[in-house]
Amino acid sequence: MAFFAGLVDAVAGGGGLIQVPALFAAYPDAPPATLLSTNKVSAVGGTLNAARKYLRHVSLPWAIVLPAIIAGFIGSLMGANAVSNFPAEPLRKALPFVLLFLLLYTWFQPSLGESHAPKILGRFQQVKGAILGLTIGFYDGFFGPGTGSFLLFGFVRLFGFDFLHASAATKLVNVATNLAAILMLASLGHINWPLGFAMMIANIAGSQFGSRLAIKHGSAFVRKAFLLIVSVLILKSAWNAYFVN
């Protein structure tokens, strides 16, 4: 499952949809915090490998991406720290509807993310990049499902990236948010390191394959994968929020 999660996540995000349920099924008696943090250890390796692969083939506007990376790290630390103080239930209930909006918006905008035309760089774009990173980073540290999809959509819609470049930028920000969550959760002693590293190896192998597919087939392929993965995530998150006690 870690291999398949790495493959899916490298293309369009959503690897946690595969990896987290697999962990809960394999270790039903383990504390949830331990399984969620172990998932982060596995995911960060595959995400970092996918980012490295993408950067060999695409050039990113760092004036936008770097503020998003830094703010994403800070936001994820804040989110992971807030988990014990605020309930995640409202987010769990709202997630299917937010994802449905992303799906419908992308579906009815067929030209969205088709061409790479980043908006003119300036202070305003840098601030928007930081806000995107901080917001989604906090969400990732606090709750998490769909983080890659939210980042991918944000880079396409807010900054004029095509889906391929947006996927590359998403991986870099996601590495930062994962690392921040790992640091926070490790300080609380929640991580199963041997299992996390074993899964990381499989996740990296999957991300290698997935990033090759995305680079080979381009933005149209990533867009289709994004629509498919978000559709499945809507169904899974709705089931978890409204039908599972």
pLDDT single digits (tens) 16-73: 777 887 888 788 888 777 887 888 899 888 888 888 888 888 888 899 999 999 999 9
198 pLDDT tier (thresholds 50, 70, 90): very high
143 pLDDT tier (thresholds 50, 70, 90): confident
Query: 72-76, 153-157, 160-164: which has the minimum mean pLDDT?
Result: 160-164
* Residue 88 pLDDT: 63
pLDDT over 70 for what percent of the chain?
93
* Residue 117 pLDDT: 66
* Residue 84 pLDDT: 62
* Residue 120 pLDDT: 66
Amino acid of residue 120: I
* Residue 214 pLDDT: 85
Task: Quote the CA–CA distance of 11 and 145 in Å, as a whole number.
Answer: 16
Instruction: Kindly report, residue by residue over 87-107, the tens digit of the pLDDT.
Output: 767 767 887 888 888 888 778
If we measure between CA atoms, which residue out of 207, 72, 226 comes closest to residue 161? 226
**CB neighbours of residue 82 within 10 Å:** 14
Which segment, 5-19, 89-103, 190-204, is predicted with the most confidence on average? 190-204
CB 9 within 8 A of CB 210: yes
Task: Quote the CA–CA distance of 145 and 154 in Å, as a whole number.
Answer: 15
Residue 69 in tokens: 């990376």
pTM: 0.83
Buried b (16+ CB within 10 A) or exposed e, 6-32: bbbbbbbbbbbbbbbebbeeeeeeeee
* Residue 116 pLDDT: 63
Three-class SS of 165-232: HHHHHHHHHHHHHHHHHHHHHHHCCCCCHHHHHHHHHHHHHHHHHHHHHHHHHHHHHHHHHHHHHHHH
* Residue 113 pLDDT: 57
If we measure between CA atoms, which residue out of 35, 56, 49, 64 comes closest to residue 215? 56
Instruction: Kindly report, residue by residue over 66-94, the tens digit of the pLDDT.
Output: 999 999 999 999 988 886 677 767 767 88
CB 113 within 8 A of CB 219: yes
* Residue 146 pLDDT: 78
**Average pLDDT of 226-237?**
84
232 pLDDT tier (thresholds 50, 70, 90): confident
Residue 63 in tokens: 């004036």
pLDDT at 118 over 80: no
How many residues does this entry show for the chain?
245
pLDDT at 1 over 90: no
Task: Quote the CA–CA distance of 201 and 209 in Å, as a whole number.
Answer: 13
**Rg from Cα positions in the chain:** 17
Chain centre distance of CA 127:
21
Half-sphere exposure of residue 52, counting CA atoms within 13 Å on the CB side?
Answer: 10
pLDDT over 90 for what percent of the chain?
22
